Each structure stands twice: as structure tokens, then as C-alpha cells.
Chain A
Amino acid sequence: MSALTAPTIHVDTRLCCRQDLRLRPIDDGALLYDPVRDSVHYLNATALCVWQQCNGAHSIAMISQKLHDEFDGIELDTIEADVTATCTQLLNDALLIHEAAA
């Protein structure tokens, strides 16, 4: 899906990990195999953390708050913007889906 057609997301959006992806942890993140697109994605540790939090129960605001609690010295607004950008890319790469589609 191109960025032009990607659905917009906001802080209350709840996203889900696709259950058919194969996760292969590696020491600084993880590789994800997508059997539908026959592709591999690499997520660094932070991206992996965001992806794993997307279980349909957590909104972007909740995930951002959790990261804010864990990482000192970063403004919540900054984290929220970056988590939104990350989720947008993961959504574009079809590694996340909207809660309603899960």
C-alpha cells in the first residue's frame, strides 16, 4: 500500500499485529517474515517493542505513555509523534492491521 492511500491514524487508533507473520528475534531486534508478500522486514529493538504492543488493546497514546515511562529524558510529544510515524510505516508495510480488520 502506498503512503498516498494509507489510512490516517491518530493517537486513539488501535492497531493489531498480523498473526500470520513469522517472528525471528535477533540480538538487536527481530526479523519478520511475511508469507503473503514473501518478504522479510527488520525491526530494531524499539520498532519491535512498538509492534509487539499493538495487540488491539493498546492505543498509540497508551503505547507512547508506556515508552515514556521506560525511557527517561524524551518528551511525550516526541515519543507520540515517533510512535505514530512508526505505526504508519508498519501499517504501510502491512505488518500491522486496524483493530476492526483483525
Chain B
Amino acid sequence: MTSLSLPITADTTGRAPNEQAKARREADSGWLQFDAQLGPVAVRLMTNCTRVYADYATVNHDVQTTGESAGFRTTVVVEKRRSWRSGIVHYHIKSEVEERFTVRKRARVVPHIDGMINLSVARHLPDFVQLHAAVLQRSDVGLVIPGGPGFGKTTLTAALIKRGWNYASDEFALIDPRTVELAPFPKSLSIKPGSVELLEREGIELTTLPRFHRVDKGAIRCLPATHIRRDALADRVTPRMIVFPNLESTAEPTIREIPRGLAAMHCLRRCFNFARWGPAAMETVAQLCEQCSCYELTTGNLAKTCELIDTSADEAAREPIGNAKQTTLATPQIDAARNSTEIVTAH
């Protein structure tokens, strides 16, 4: 991984005139630096735009640090430039994972910063097996909700925080293979327009939050977990329950236990870095599933869905860790062919 650095002060010695001018511009415009700590990931934003700085700080102030942190760091640089020819402002965004991306609307900058950070974590963060999942905790029960976009993961996560669950992540389940614990990654939640009304009905105030624009989701609101509950952030989480959501907005919510082997396969399909870990990822995910009760959830009415999860979590809390309830096998049927499933990794 290469590290990025931009000159914050002008150093004119030995530089070509155009570089000197560039350095002066940067110094004159005053580069700002924002540091945040998202669990094991130190994030640094450098920008010459006070508004971009303010946008990013607004949704990340609760994870802000003084700037020094050991371990994995990712840096995103946002440079605001005005074209001398047209006068139009552009924002040039770059990081370790993307050389340069240019957007014209400021509303698209923060989502793009988040996207770059996610990509950097998925590609470069060592030490963790990563699943695409939300992670929450209530009492001693760690809850993992694997799922891709459109599964209702974020809406469900916000509603559960409101009901007393603590928030660890909405993007990555970062599994430490040594302990099978989950490290937090408490990035703010990206709330889609379709979820705003649902969440406001749950008592979550969204109107005062800044609005940004994502190409895939449209106008989103970035919702810090601490905006829902001041004390909502979780530390390391011991997983006890895995729930695979399936959004059917008109359906009656249902939850049913599934075999752990099948759950492991569902998790492995959501593994970002299987290619790096190979069989060790399989072992880690198998251990994760063995210490959890695993469910498939059809989500519908949000309040009822949360109640189902709360009830199942109460049951999981009563089971000793590492001795989660055994799934009872149905009468053996020779249905092996239908249940032999496969994951093929992306290289």
C-alpha cells in the first residue's frame, strides 16, 4: 500500500515553477486534516475545502481522534479546484485505492470518501476476515446481519439501535480469526429516501441531518449512530446470533432457524477477502457459525421485525457461549443433491 502525502506548506527550494505555484496555492488555501478512528481503521481526510471538511466532520465527529494511531491507516485527499477557463468548481478525490476521481457536486463528495474508505478496508486491511454485514450488540449478544444492498440491513440496524442495541458496523463484520470476536467499524449509516419515513415512524429524527447524493441510492442522509442514541457505540462484539434478512415489504415478518453449515455458506458468499484467506476464512466462518444461533428472517413491518429479533436474542442470551442451540436435523432424506452448494471466489 502506498501512503499519500500532500505538501501543507510551500517548499520552494529545488522545485519546478509549476510545482512551486501549486504548493503556494495549497498553502494559501489552507489544507485541513480530519482524523477519525473507525475501530482498527484510522481514517484521515485532507482537504482544501472547508465545506467538505465540515460535511465530513458533521457525520464523523463522534469517532474523531487527535490524529495519531497505530495500525492500519487510510487517507483520502479531496482537492477543490476552480477551472480557470470555465470557472466551474470540481472536487478531485484520491486515495490509495483510486488514483483520482472528479465530481462536480459537493453533495457527492462525502459518499465518495466513504466508498474509497470501504474499498481500502476491503482490499488492504490485514488481520480480519471480512463479511459484508451489519453488527450490533445488546447485553452479551452480538448480532451479525449479513446482506448486500437492498436487503433492508441499514434500516433494520437503525431501528434496532433505537430499541437499545449498540452499534458496531453497517458495512463490515471484521472477524478476528484468533478470537472470533468482531471489531467495530462505526461508520455513519446511509439512509435511502425510501427508509426515511419508516425510521421517522420509529422515532428517529432525520430532517436535520445533512443530505448527500449517491449514484446508486440517490439522495441519502448520513445518520451517525450517536444521533439515534448518545451511547450507541459498541466496542468489540462476541457474536451469538446471525440473521440473514430478506426484505419483503408486504410480508408478515417471520424468523426461522437454519443449519449452521448453510449459514456458513451464506456468510462465505458475503466474504470480501476470501481470496486472501482461503481455507482459514472457511475455518473462521465455521467457528463463527458454531458459536451462534443462525436464522433466516423475512422482514416486513419494521417494529414487528425488531420484536422478532429481540425475542430470538433473548433466547440466544440464555444459551452458553460455544454451546449454542443445536439445530435438529429433519428425518434424513436423500436430498443431498439439492443441498450441495458452492461458493466460487473472485480473484
Contact = CB atoms under 8 A, between A and B. Distances in A.
Given A24-B282, A41-B341, A93-B340, A29 B261 contact: yes
A74 B289 CA distance: 32
Nearest to B327: A28
B332 interface: yes
A44 B259 CA distance: 9
Contacts of B342: 39-42, 93
Contact of A79 (B290, B334, B343): B334
A63 to B, nearest CB: 11
A19 interface: no
Contacts of B210: none
B5 interface: no
B340 A47 contact: yes
**SS class of chain A's interface: helix, strand, loop or mixed?**
mixed
A39 B343 contact: yes
Contact of A26 (B279, B286, B333, B347): B286
A77 B340 CA distance: 21
B340 A82 contact: no
A40 B268 contact: yes
B326 A67 contact: no
Interface residues of A, number: 37
Contacts of B275: 38
Contacts of B286: 24, 26, 31
A78 B344 contact: no
Contacts of A48: 336
A74 to B, nearest CB: 7
Given A22-B279, A28-B260, A39-B343, A47 B289 contact: no
B345 interface: yes
Contact of A82 (B259, B282, B337, B344): B337
B339 A47 contact: yes
A15 B344 CA distance: 24
B283 interface: yes
A65 to B, nearest CB: 13
A90 interface: yes
B103 interface: no
B327 A42 contact: no
A40 B339 contact: no
A44 B282 contact: no
Contacts of A45: 329, 332
B290 A71 contact: no
Contact of A47 (B279, B326, B336): B336
A33 B336 contact: no
Given A27-B290, A28-B261, A38 B337 contact: no
B290 A43 contact: no
A40 B343 contact: yes
A51 B260 CA distance: 19
B209 interface: no
B329 A31 contact: no
| Interface-centre pick from B261, B282, B289, B329 (highest chain A CB count, 10 A) | B261
A90 B342 CA distance: 11
A82 B339 CA distance: 12
Given A31-B282, A33-B279, A46-B335, 12 more contacts: A22-B279, A24-B283, A27-B327, A28-B260, A29-B259, A35-B278, A37-B344, A38-B347, A39-B345, A40-B282, A45-B329, A71-B334
24 contacts: A22-B279, A24-B279, A26-B289, A27-B261, A28-B262, A28-B327, A31-B264, A38-B275, A38-B344, A39-B342, A39-B345, A40-B265, A40-B343, A42-B264, A42-B265, A44-B335, A46-B335, A50-B336, A67-B334, A78-B334, A85-B337, A89-B337, A89-B340, A90-B340
